[in-house]
Chain A
C-alpha cells in the first residue's frame, strides 16, 4: 500500500515563493504527480517525476528524491490565481499501476 503526507493548509504572499512538501511510503514506487485543484473544480495535471531531481515548467517546479520518499512543488512569483489545493499522488508498480492521492494542500495567496 501507499501512505502520502502533505500539509493541509499554507498561506503565502503574492509575488513570493512557496514550497509544498510531500512525503510518501510505498511498496513499489513508479512515479509521482502533482495536480492543481481550484475550489469546486476538477484536478488538473501540473507535473510528473519518476527520476530524482528537479523538473521545471515555467513558474512551477517539482523535485523528487526516491531514496527519501520526498517531493516538493515550488511555486514562484505567486499570483492570486494560484490559490488552490495541490494534490500529491503516487503511482505504484503493480499491473494496474494504481495512483494514490494525498489529501491535498490548500494554498491561500494573500495580497
Chain B
C-alpha cells in the first residue's frame, strides 16, 4: 500500500521556468491538498480539492495552479517559478466518508518535494 506518492522528490529550477508536481494516492480519498513548508512557518495550504474535477484556493495560492482530473491524482503547477517559491511541498489526502469520526479527519502526507528556484 503506497499511500500518497509525490514526484519528483527534488528539483532545481531557474527563475521563470515552469514545472508540475504530481501527487497520487491509492486510498480512494475524496479530499486532496497541497501545502508548502518553510523554516519558521507552519504548513501553509496552497490549494485543495474536495473531489474529482473540483479545486479551490487555500491561504497562499498566488503563483500556483492545480488540477484534479482523476480522483487519485492532484497536480500542482508553477507557470513561472520565482525564488520565493523555494520550499518543501507536501501533498496530503483524506477520506470524506469513513466508518468513524476520527478516520475521516486524518490527513495522510506524501514524502515531500524539495524545490529550489535560483
Contact = CB atoms under 8 A, between A and B. Distances in A.
Interface of A: 4, 8, 31, 33, 40-45, 48, 50, 87, 89, 91, 96, 98-104
A101 B90 CA distance: 13
A41 B111 contact: yes
A91 B31 CA distance: 15
Most chain B beta-carbon neighbours within 10 Å: one of A31, A50, A101: A101
Interface residues of B, number: 22
B109 A42 contact: yes
Contact of B50 (A8, A33, A96): A96
24 contacts: A4-B42, A8-B40, A31-B105, A33-B105, A33-B106, A40-B112, A41-B112, A42-B110, A42-B111, A42-B112, A43-B43, A44-B109, A45-B106, A45-B108, A48-B105, A87-B42, A87-B43, A96-B48, A96-B50, A98-B45, A101-B35, A101-B44, A103-B40, A104-B42
